[in-house]
Structure 1
Amino acid sequence: MILVELVLVVFVFLTAVLVALLEDIVGAIATFAVFSLGLGLLWVLLAAPDVALAEAAVGGGILSVLYVLAVILTSRGVPAADREEAGLFRSINFRALAVIVALAVPLLIAINGLPDVGDPTAPAVSETYPDGSLTPYGYYVGHTLEETGLSNAVAAVLVVYRGLDTFGEAVVVFTAAVGVLIVLEREVLT
């Protein structure tokens, strides 16, 4: 299993680099969709199928369609002579690369400090801390069904304990959809 995960991580990394370096915008969008699908597969291997489905649907599907629409709507009326023909890859912006490395290094150090996936002593999967107090996992496992009266613990956590968070996410998605529709409407009318 570790080999499959390693291959997927390398695949996702390479597709991310390709997205950044490809000169062809539509090719970069297609590569981004493949990147998103690879990331979705990683989420499946990490036992998070709900996140994987969201990644595949939003990253691989909806965003790719929106990017293609944005390219189509914003490139109309640009004379072919004004579009420079370049090679397959863009030149590298070294300042942007330095910012990416400056953000990636601490992130990788933090990830290295996390407990291993499946570690039974990790706070995310153990019911108590070393001092005996309940972890959030322990609280939810022990109290969710009796406190909420629901038969599904995941639905209970999303609706009862994290209801405002879930509502906030729905508001953000709705606002983004309305914003995209407004922009598309303006572009179509002009």
Structure 2
Amino acid sequence: MEVALHVCMLISALACTACGVLGPHRASVSSWLGQAIMVAAMLDMSVPGDWLPPLVWSALLIAAGMYGAARRRWSVPNPGSVCASLDLHRALTFVVAGGLILVLAGPAGPVGFVGAGRSPGGHAHAGAHGVGGATGWLLVGVLGLLVHAAWLVVRHARRTRRRRSSALEAASLGVMLAAMAASVL
């Protein structure tokens, strides 16, 4: 089951990147960088051993999400546009995924986040799983992002062909987060 979740996370991250790079509403270079970090982190989680420690992947993803949200000017004439809502969704997904990587990385501390050490297995998911403290709040964030992804999919799938790639990108981000959340449980 865990292998299937890893494959699902990796394929979803690749689909999201393909939509962002090749779609008609192309993401910015900073979003491409964030998506590349996401793909690399999912690939690293899918194979035994670590290219980078999970704390570094988490910090990179959270920084990419925060930068993506901060650089976006929310005072554009049409804040409900495809790009604005998808940029926000992508940025929040990076932040929540960074938190989930911390949860999946190792033994939980008193607030549900990773403690100082890693489990002796050395694998990114070798730690104890469970819901409590900050982990529960992360799962609430996942649920909110899944609802937002579903709204984006419904909103953009019915529109022109050009906007369907936005729906596919939102759906792939939602599937990736759902697989990460399922790994936590």
Mark yes or no: TM-score above 0.5. no
TM-score scaled by length of structure 1? 0.28
In our comparison, the structure showing a higher alpha carbon Rg is: 1
TM-score scaled by length of structure 2? 0.29
**Relative contact order (alpha carbons < 8 A, sep ≥ 6): 1 or 2 greater?**
2
